[in-house]
Structure 1
Amino acid sequence: MKKSRYWAVIIITFGVFMGLSARLIYVTVIARDEILSKAQSQILQKLALPAKRGSIVDRNGALLASSTDAYRVDVDLATFRRKLEKTDREASYYAAPLAEVLGMEVDEVLSKLTSESTSVILKRKIEKDTIDALRAYIDEANVDFLVIGYDDIRYFPNSNYLAQVLGAVNIDGEGIMGLEYYYDDLLKGVDGIKIAETDKQRRELPYSDVIETPAINGSDLYLTIDEKIQYIVEKTAEAAMEKHEADSVTILVSDPKTGGILGLVNLPDFDPNKPFEGKTSDEFNEISRNFAVNDSYEPGSTFKIVTISAALEEGVIGEHEHFHCDGFIYVNGVRIKCVNNKAHGDQTAADVLKNSCNVATVQIAQRLGAEKFNEYLKKYQFGAKSGIDLPGEASGIIFNLEDLTPINLATSSFGQAQTVTPVQMLNAMNTVANGGEMIQLHVAEKAELTDVNGEITVEDLNEEEGIPILSESTAESMLEYLYGATGKNPTNRAYIEGINVFGKTGTAQKIITDENGKQKYSDEEYISSFIGGAPYEDPKITVLVIVNNPKDEIFGSIVASPWAREIFLEVDQYLSLR
């Protein structure tokens, strides 16, 4: 070997050695942390452990909403792009089989695989059998760019049942309406985290250490709703909607002694399992409104309960005092007619309620006076939110004292010119049925949280104390009047032999907007209602039935009373109202 070649080999060898040494020093010392971090990012998988959303159950423990374990699949797009470069394939090579396994459209999968992001959610809310099929495909196709994580599915076993009350959740499991929204903080829990080493198919290595912080599941929510009573009101509302071709039907049933809502239905409704399916945004907003809470209406003659009870409480009328009705009354030159223009002649206060006499009710309001009338409106919490535990509660619209002119006082006394919410009217009836004390209406009773150690913490959700509105004697007198109007009156369509029903009907013209954009009372559209309870001696339930715009009849005594009767008869078989 020539000397020059010898030294060339020596120099090259030395150069290679120095290069390798420098690289070794760079890898082990200078860039050690950066390279270790990259290595760990390739073999360590960090997964969120979603907290299981709490269940919602009725007062007897019947399941109304729950969450089941599910999965989600994400795409590591950086790894996916490297995969395509190494295999010299197109994204469409993987799109078709993935779409078939996951039940997706090929174009949707392809769009996500070709996104310019670093990662993308491929699909969520996936059940286990689908994930098993996906894992088989991953092994077969040597796929290393998919990340399988944990998810859950919110399930409402009764579909449309109690829809507006229970509400719904979004894709992230967050409450967006109803109780799911109102009690979201209690229901959602706290997510955990899991870190484990994985192979190139993103599967956990069985011998590696796993770092895991367990999730804290959400609280279970116990309602005052009774599943059997809810079934009764759902069935009754459907029949009423069909018979009268109504725009909507709302029914509430409550326990006047506790304020607990036992049943609540609004029709039309929706399926919380798939709330937006097949609906425009406007259509969904319409059917998802909880009319019992979110909207107000003119109550008509059911409001006479408020006017007469206030007058009795203030002592401006007596039980045996008589009031005369000629079929009409003039107030500041305005002629106000009685129901059906009928002249009722001389009547006691009990007769006024039984006959639903507008003229006598105006006379009673005049004795009470605007100031006292306004005072009782506020005592009964009209014009204010009741505080019921459902979102979006309306306040209704009542006159300020300075606006209670003689004509406004007159029309307001029998339920026109002011608006109330259904829960406000039920509050008023419950006050009478509960000896004059108002107990706040509510839907949830308690929340139970089970921690990671299995210990249970109970939180009472109904701790409001009752508010005295009327004396017991006034409440007793009002109950007697209401019983006389219904339970002692065989001609009343809510009358039931053997069940002492008390109640009052209402018929109110709806306010519509004419072709000139002005609001006026309609001559064709009405709201028909009944409010009452049973039994008269010791009320166990109160009932409010509202039929919006019936097409066959209009009077609450004809439209709403028979459906209240059906509810009393069916609840009697369950709770015994005799």
Structure 2
Amino acid sequence: MEGFYVVMKQRKVRNAQKFTIGMKKKLVVLFVLVLLAFVGLGVRLILITKNNGEEYQKQVLSQQQYDSTTLPFRRGEILDANNTVLAYSEKVYNVILDAKLLLRSDKYVEPTIKALVKCFDLDAGEIRSYLQDHPGSQYYILAKKLTYDQISEFQGLITIGSDTYDENIQGVWFEAGYIRKYPNNTLACDIIGFTSSDNNGMYGLEEYYNSVLSGTPGREYGYLDDDSNLERTTIPATDGDSIVTTIDGNLQNIVERHLQEFNDTYANNARQGNGANNVGCIMMDVNTGEILAMASYPFFDLNNPRDTSALIGMPVVDEKGNKVKGESVFDSGVYITQEMIDGFSDEVLYQNYNALWKNYCISDTYEPGSVAKPFTVATALESGSITGDEVYNCKGFLEVGGWEIKCHNTYGDGAVSVERGIEISCNVAMMYVAQATGVNTFTKFQKDFGFGLKTNIDLAGEARTEGLTYSAANMTPTDLATNSFGQGFNVDMIEMITGFCSLINGGYYYEPHIVKKIVSSSGATIKNIEPRILRQTISQSTSDKIVQYCNKVVAGEEGTGKTARPAGYMIGGKTGTAQTLPRGNHQYVVSFMGYAPADDPQIAIYVVVDRPNVTYQADAKYATRIVRAILTEALPYLNFPMTEELSEKEQAELAELREQLVTTYVSENVEEETAENTEEETEAATESSSEEVEEKDRSSIWESFSKDPSTGYLVDPNSGNMVDPDSGAVLGGDDLPDFNEAPNAASSASSN
């Protein structure tokens, strides 16, 4: 057994010796081959470097990024008709940290951090933490949207050749951009709109003229020349064009101030919430279609459009943008409180912002009420359906299609001529006029006046009213009757005032516009936007009669619009009061459409108050008083001479108002010259209030009614209805039980 182990051991030794010798030979051969390969590669690299090294160097270097930077454009300005800036873009800078560049050497870190803390009040600890956690980062924003004055000190530290240059401050640079600024904050917010974070326009002119106001970004490139040197080339940005509007900033300010005063007076009055669901005003040049002023309340700050405080008091809308209904039909909505805002989801909050940002003057539709009556009469006159000499008998109602459609004066107006029908706003007279006109002619002229059509005003968000008016095929006698006094069809404010201007300017329908000129960033005029006549709606003779009739609304003894007359001036126009749906809910839209001067209309004004925050809403005086206040200041500013003599009381009232306005302007640091001009512009502010207390000479049944001391209205002892002491209009709609049940029928009580 021992011999066996010896033999095996000797065999292993021989095998190990054979393996070692064989491997050595193979390793030698392998080493030689590897050595030859390296020698070959070395020779090849030498040849490449000698013959093609420059070419390959450029190819590698060209794949690196050399400061290819987008250069922002400056968005064009928005100016008013007097070249006052309403919107502009200010250059700002973001402070950018390049951690990788800064950390190239420890000697750069502390001087750079110290300078950042000193110049920008940054937290040194946060900067150090970021450098430690992101040593390879090359883009981190330390501060945003700083002005040049805010970065100038640090700019000197990193600018070679500057007196304060410090070579140890590294890894920080400035990224330029622009932010939109609105120097007047809320002024003309509905007209202007605003921009999003990516510099695109939202709402108003900013959206409609976005492509005009936007420029083209530039770019700075880094590249290698033939000698492998880094070169730069810059394609400069092209700034956007500016737009000059037809808006007069002074008129706009007057309008907005009086809309604010209305809200201050009636907010939280009969209910919690704003002074009305909406209040809108448009001023327009009768003979050009230019918009001189346009505003709707509530306003919002263009520099901070997402300020939730502007929402408080507005009607709530749901996540689909629909207005939330109140607990009963007599509620005009549910109104936003801070507690509601705190509980809004993001979607509901955004929908309520949209409701705030919309321009009521162009985006919301409603039944116009009696401001449509001049259109009814103009249609009949122009078509030859009436001559204007007709006299109708108003018994307080007219039976049409089996329904008793009542006049706003349910006691009856007696014998009513066409002219008096406009003056006292008699529904029955208008129904007779419409019957004489007929369905086909009536609906044709409605389209001629623009009802149911977009005006194509150059603002984003105009409502489509197609389908909200009747065609001849689907209009019944009842529909014709209610349409005659402005109910049963829907319009928006810009439709109404544009059509109305054609009634009083000789029949010329101008396309409304709000921009009159486009200019380049260098100031060169690119385009003039001239007045554009689209069609002629009526003849000059018909227009003259409509002016005559509407003048009586303000100047006539029985005129429903006497409280719209500013002291020292005579104007014309038409009042309107329309029920909202559902009928009988005591919710009204009241309005006044007017013009000045009365003998030669030059400007038109339209004020709509949507569900005023009062107990009895059916009173057009909530609109006429706003018109009076606005025109009291606007007409002197526009250099229209006074035509009416001022009473001593009116002069005293004007002096008091003038003093109040001057005091307000001085307290707001307005220049003395502006204050002096304002004195002239406001010389007639309050005396027209005397219109409300003038004694009435005419004999009417309601004059014997007793007055409710809490409201100032008269009370019918038989029905308990509230009655307007000036016109005899019954307020609240309680006198319409029969007609309210009519299917698809409009209200029969379009009073005033």
TM-score, normalisation: structure 2 = 0.65
Contact 2:376–2:434 (8 Å) recurs in 1? yes
TM-superposed CA distance for 1:528, in Å, is 1.2
Q: What is the CA distance between 1:458 and its match in structure 2?
A: 2.6
Q: 1:549, CA displacement in angstroms?
A: 1.3
Letter in 1 for 2:604: T
Q: How big is the shift at 1:395?
A: 2.5
What amino acid maps onto 1:239 in structure 2? E
| Whole-angstrom distance in 1 between the partners of 2:197 and 2:114 | 23
CA 1:322–1:141: 2 relative to 1, 3 Å: farther
Deviation at 1:127, TM superposition (A): 1.5
Match of 1:571 among 623, 630, 634: 634
1:264-279 mapped onto 2 (5 Å cutoff): 264-278=294-308
Counterpart in 1 of 2:727? none
Aligned counterpart, 1:506:
576
What does residue 532 of structure 1 align with?
594
How far 1:501 sits from its partner (Å)?
0.5
* Counterpart Cα distance in 2 of 1:74 and 1:382: 56
Q: Provide, for residues 423-448 of structure 1, a one-character-per-residue CA deviation record: whole Å limited to 9, x for no partner.
A: 01101211112111111111101101
Look up the match of 2:564.
494
- Asked if 2 retains the 8 angstrom alpha-carbon contact of 1:493 and 1:557, the reply is no
Gap regions ≥5 residues in structure 2: 1-34, 159-165, 267-274, 312-348, 642-752
Who is 1:321 aligned against? 390
For 1:103 and 1:377, locate their aligned partners in 2 and report how far apart those are by CA, in whole Å.
65
Task: Check conservation: 2:288, 2:532, Cα contact below 8 A.
Answer: no
* Contact persistence 2:554–2:573 (CA under 8 A): yes
Is contact 1:339-1:357 (8 Å) kept?
yes
Deviation of the 1:71 alpha carbon? 2.2
Contact kept in structure 1, 2:218 and 2:238, CA below 8 Å: yes
Q: Is the 8 Å Cα contact of residues 506 and 555 (structure 1) preserved in structure 2?
A: no
In structure 2, the partner of 1:460 is 528
In the alignment, is residue 59 of structure 1 matched against residue 81 of structure 2? yes
Tell me the distance in 1 between the aligned counterparts of 2:303 and 2:135.
30
Does the CA contact (< 8 Å) of 1:540 and 1:577 recur in 2? no
Query: Does the 8 A contact of 1:96 with 1:106 survive in 2?
Result: no
AA of the residue aligned to 1:228: N
Change (3 A) 1:35 1:241: same
User: Which residue of structure 1 aligns with residue 476 of structure 2?
Assistant: 405
Q: Is the 8 A contact 2:93 2:177 kept in 1?
A: yes
Following the alignment from structure 1 to structure 2, what is the Cα–Cα distance between the partners of residues 265 and 99? 46
Which residue, 552, 560, 570 being the options, matches 1:484?
552
Distance 1:369 1:269 in 2: 43
Deviates further, 236-245 or 94-103: 94-103
| Alpha-carbon distance change, 320 to 183 in structure 1, aligned in 2, over 3 angstroms | same
CA distance in 2, matches of 1:390, 1:346: 46
Letter in 2 for 1:467: R
Query: 2:376 matched to 1:307?
Result: yes
Matched residue type, 2:504:
A
Distance 1:141 1:359, change over 3 A: farther
Match of 1:193 in 2: 219
Judge conservation of contact 1:250–1:292 (CA < 8 Å) in 2: yes
Q: CA deviation at 1:55?
A: 1.0
- Residue 567 of structure 2 contacts residue 632 of structure 2 at CA under 8 Å; is this kept in 1? no
SS at match of 1:447: strand
Give the C-alpha shift of residue 228 in structure 1: 1.0
Alpha-carbon distance in structure 2 between the residues aligned to 1:60 and 1:137:
43
Q: Is 1:386 paired with 2:471? A: no
8 A Cα contact 1:442 1:462, kept in partner: no
Whole-angstrom CA distance in 2 between matches of 1:56 and 1:550 = 33
* Structural RMSD (CA): 3.7
Is structure 2 residue 322 aligned with structure 1 residue 253?
no
2:444 aligns with one of 375, 389, 392: 375
Q: CA deviation at 1:523?
A: 2.2
Q: Alpha-carbon deviation of 1:188?
A: 1.1
Moved more, 304-313 or 480-489: 480-489
Distance 1:110 1:118, change over 3 A: closer
1:176 to 186, 199, 202: 202
- 1:267 and 1:276 map into 2 onto residues whose CA distance is 16
Separation of aligned partners in 1, 2:393 and 2:360 = 37
What count of residue pairs does the alignment treat as equivalent? 538
Contact 2:216 2:239 in 1 (8 A): yes
Displacement of 1:22 in angstroms is 7.2
**1:201 is matched with which residue?**
none
Structure-2 separation of matches of 1:215 and 1:302: 51
Distance 1:110 1:174, change over 3 A: farther
Q: Mark the CA change 1:185 to 1:106 in structure 2 (over 3 Å): closer, same or farther.
A: farther
The alignment partner of 2:576 has SS state of strand
Shift of the alpha carbon at 1:208? Answer: 8.2
Q: Pick from 544, 547, 551: which aligns with 2:606?
A: 544
Q: Distance in 2 between matches of 1:115 and 1:546?
A: 63
Distance 1:75 1:283, change over 3 A: farther
How far apart are the structure 1 equivalents of 2:413 and 2:119?
A: 75
Structure with the higher strand share, 1 or 2: 1
1:36 aligns with 2:58: no
> Of 156, 159, 170, which aligns to 2:182?
156
Q: Distance in 1 between matches of 2:180 and 2:357?
A: 18
Alpha-carbon distance between aligned partners in 1 of 2:539 and 2:367, rounded to the nearest angstrom: 27
Moved more, 492-501 or 414-423: 492-501
Q: Which moved more, 1:561-570 or 1:158-167?
A: 561-570
By how many angstroms is 1:243 displaced?
1.9
Residue matched to 1:240: 262
Residues 1:441 and 2:467 are matched in the alignment:
no
What secondary structure does 1:222 align onto? strand
Mapped partners of 1:116, 1:423: distance in 2 = 59
What is the Cα deviation at residue 327 of structure 1? 0.3
- Contact 1:102–1:130 (Cα < 8 Å) also in 2: no
Distance 1:117 1:405 in 2: 74
Q: Does the 8 Å contact 2:119/2:153 carry over to 1?
A: no
Deviation sequence 1:532-573 (CA, Å, 0-9, x none): 111122112110011121122423432111111111211122
CA separation of 1:102 and 1:219: change in aligned 2, threshold 3 A: farther
Deviation at 1:248, TM superposition (A): 2.0
Q: Does 1:430 align with 2:501?
A: yes
Alignment match, 1:473: 541
Measured after TM superposition, the shift of residue 292 of structure 1 is: 0.7
The one-letter code sitting in structure 2 at the alignment partner of 1:189 is G
Larger mean CA deviation between 472-481 and 21-30 belongs to 21-30
Take 2:489 and 2:512, find their aligned partners in 1: how far apart are those partners? 22
Instruction: Report if the CA contact (8 A) 2:96-2:173 is conserved.
Output: yes
Closer, same or farther: CA 559–152 of 1 in aligned 2, 3 Å: same
- Post-superposition shift, 1:213? 2.2
Preserved CA contact (<8 Å) 1:70 1:127: yes
Deviation at 1:301, TM superposition (A): 0.7
For 1:94 and 1:427, the matched residues in 2 are separated by: 63
**Corresponding residue number in structure 2 for 1:203:** none
**CA displacement at 1:465 relative to structure 2:** 2.6
Number of the residue aligned with 1:5: none
Q: 1:410 to 1:26 in 2, by over 3 A?
A: farther
Give 2:707's aligned residue.
none
Shift of 1:340: 3.8
Q: How does 1:86-165 map to 2 (within 5 A)?
A: 101=120, 124-132=144-152, 135=155, 142-144=169-171, 147-165=173-191
**Secondary structure at 1:402 match in 2:** coil
- Deviation string 1:157-191 (CA, Å, 9 cap, x unpaired) is 10011001100011222212210110111111222
Q: Structure 1: which 5+ runs fail to align?
A: 1-10, 199-206, 512-519
Counterparts of residues 75-94 of structure 1 (less than 5 Å): 80=99
C-alpha deviation, 1:488, in angstroms: 3.9
**Aligned-pair CA distance for 1:124:** 4.8
TM-aligned CA distance change 1:18 to 1:429, over 3 Å:
same
| Equivalent-residue separation in structure 1 for 2:50 and 2:238 (angstroms) | 46
1:30 to partner: Cα distance = 6.5
Per-residue CA deviations over 1:206-226 (Å, capped at 9, x if unaligned) read x98652222222212111101
Q: Say if 1:445 and 1:134 are closer, same or farther in 2 by CA, change over 3 A.
A: same
